[in-house]
A and B are shown apart, each in its own frame.
Chain A
Amino acid sequence: MTSAGHQTVNRDARLAWLFASPALLGLSCFVLLPFVLSVILSFTNLRLGSPLPLEFMGFSQYQRIFSDQAFLAALRNNSLFALIVVPLQTALALLLALLVNQPLRGMVIFRSLFFMPVVFPLSLVAVVWIIVFAPGPQGLLNQVLETITLGAWQARDFLHDPVWALPAISLTSIWQGVGFQMVILLAALQGIAHELYEAARVDGANRWQQFVCITLPQLRNAIIFVVLVTTILAFRLFDQVQIMTQGGPNYATTTVMYEAVNSAFGSQQVARAAAMTVVFFTVVLLITLLQRAVARHERVIE
């Protein structure tokens, strides 16, 4: 290499560092460092404002949270929430995407309408749905259900009912988030080659066969992505709980993040909260790895 070429490479490298350093600095200070801190702190006894000296505690924070009824309930609730929301929301998003993808007039309006709640802040959505779930025969949902069942429905207080509170939060979340998944699936639907459907029609496949043999396999990656994102979001659940139920009644809607935030701020137990967030991160990591494995499996088949 000539010396002039060498200089260009050096100048390029310096500029590259200059280009990348603000972002890299930000990521190291505000993502990487806190993440490492989170792991380290989870092995200590750190409590803000505590007179006790900082000590290494081994796994005892983890032992404690895994024998804590509230935290176990939180893990259970997050899983249950994911089990309700992920299949329902994905199926609904797919149905809406298929409907909006029909070559009919006015589809843009419906698409916008279904996407609209995505731009609503979750905190606002939560407050609005408190009214939808209002107790007594005056409550909107109670009223609707009573009309549909011709009066057989017994009005209830959804958000203060241990059985109904979590499904109520799930419904709220689906309403807010389904438009996002719909748009992703819609883009994938529109990316499917028309020739595939034409070939299927020539072979005499009906609508349902086309859906099962062409649409679903072609959407596979998009569906895996949507399922992954929705599952991770399900484990991040916080805003709706904070506003709608505060984790109650009797831990029926508490979540891992809600418990972590409460430990850190309710009782200043930073180490305990850190242990909870490490558990949370492990769950997210496992879900991501699982998704990678499933997606890679598919590439092998191709």
Chain B
Amino acid sequence: MIFKRRVGTLSVYLLLAAFAFAFLVPVAMMLFGSFKPDDQVLVQAARSGSLLPAEFGWFNYRDVFARVPFTRYLFNSAFISVCIVAGGLLVNSLAAYAFARLQWPGRDWLLLVVIALMIIPLEAIAVPLFYEVTLLGWRDTYWVQIIPFIANAFSIYLFYTFFLGLPRELEEAARIDGAGPWRIFFRIVAPNAKPVFATVAILSFLTQWGALLWPLMVTHSEAVRPLPLGIATFYSLPPLQWGDIFAFGVMMVTPVLLIFVLFQRWFVQGVATTGVKG
């Protein structure tokens, strides 16, 4: 019996190790490749056992800073994501609170409209939205990458279901003490809803940090372009230097990986909650 269990445990670990290998190899290839001379990235990546660089150097990282305005892209990405996340948390949670707790005419059918809007992905409206912002003269700015994405139907829905599940007693007590909806929301509801704020923040941050389609459509100057476009232009910029591209990639993903490692529990919880209501 014990023997059988050991074999079972061992095979679970073997399977896990095999998958871990498949998940790690591309990442390791990028990391090690970023320290190799360009002509060795391809050659050495292939030869078994030589993923590690023969000679180790920071030259590719220096190249990235010399060839593209990396810090500018990084700042743009961070600024755009932070604005969308912060604005989205405020605007969408307030709306969700109005839907979950306040009495107002039109509430129920507006909620239905919001839920229906959830299934319209950006791709389905990208072209007319592009036309719209062109008419507004917003192209090639920060705002065109921020304002359209602050209000989000899915975020409202996540907040709404969470607020519905909060016990009403605390709010009732505060109301009897004479607190208005503003105070109740900021002093009582928001502090008790940290998990859903974290979920929404993480999901919208991940979407925005990786956004390629929309910035590709509406921006053309480097002053406002985010990192994903940076790597796309870098990739199409001759001469094709793989070492530089990987160095760019490593620098692009490191901030997100750090955030991921620090807030791992929240990431996993956040993703898990999206499936609960499915």
Q: A: which residues have CB within 8 A of B?
A: 9, 12-13, 15-17, 19-20, 22-27, 29-35, 37-38, 41, 46, 48, 96, 99-100, 102, 104, 110-125, 127-129, 131-132, 134, 137-140, 142-143, 147, 175, 180, 183-188, 221-222, 224-226, 228-229, 232, 236, 238-239, 242-243, 257, 260-261, 264-265, 270, 273-274, 277-278, 280-281, 284-285, 288, 295
Question: A140-B46, A270-B127, A273-B127 known; A175 and B95 CB under 8 Å?
Answer: no
Q: Which residues of B contact A115 (CB under 8 A)?
A: 267-268, 271
Q: How far, in Å, is B80 (CB) from chain A's closest CB?
A: 13
Q: How far, in Å, is A230 (CB) from chain B's closest CB?
A: 12
* Residues 102-118 of chain B, each 1 if its beta carbon lies under 8 Å from chain A, else 0: 11110100100110010
Do A119 and B249 have beta carbons less than 8 Å apart? no
- In the complex, besides A20-B95, A184-B275, A280-B123, 4 extra interface pairs with C-beta distance below 8 angstroms are A17-B98, A22-B91, A29-B148, A99-B19
Expressed in whole angstroms, the Cα–Cα distance for A118 and B271 within the complex equals 10
Do A187 and B276 have beta carbons less than 8 Å apart? yes
Do A30 and B151 have beta carbons less than 8 Å apart? yes
**Which chain A residue has the least Cβ–Cβ distance from B111?**
A20
Do A121 and B228 have beta carbons less than 8 Å apart? yes
The 6 closest A-B pairs by CB, nearest first: A26-B151, A225-B278, A184-B275, A187-B272, A121-B210, A23-B95
Do A16 and B98 have beta carbons less than 8 Å apart? yes
Q: Which residues of A contact B151 (CB under 8 A)?
A: 22-27, 30-31
Tell me, yes or no, whether B30 is within 8 Å of chain A by CB.
yes
Expressed in whole angstroms, the Cα–Cα distance for A70 and B124 within the complex equals 19
Do A127 and B181 have beta carbons less than 8 Å apart? no
- The secondary-structure label for the interface of chain A is helix
Question: A16-B98, A113-B24, A261-B213 known; A243 and B19 CB under 8 Å?
Answer: no
Question: A13-B105, A99-B15 known; A128 and B128 CB under 8 Å?
Answer: no
Interface residues on B, range: 35 or more
Expressed in whole angstroms, the Cα–Cα distance for A226 and B275 within the complex equals 8
Q: Which residues of A contact B260 (CB under 8 A)?
A: 112, 116, 119
Q: How far, in Å, is A134 (CB) from chain B's closest CB?
A: 6
Expressed in whole angstroms, the Cα–Cα distance for A47 and B59 within the complex equals 47
- The secondary-structure label for the interface of chain B is helix
* Interface-lining segment among B61-69, B165-173, B193-201, B251-259: B251-259
Do B227 and A121 have beta carbons less than 8 Å apart? yes
Subset of 19 A-B contacts with CB under 8 Å: A16-B98, A20-B110, A27-B117, A33-B132, A119-B256, A121-B253, A127-B231, A129-B26, A131-B41, A147-B48, A225-B278, A226-B275, A236-B121, A239-B228, A261-B216, A274-B127, A277-B124, A277-B127, A281-B120
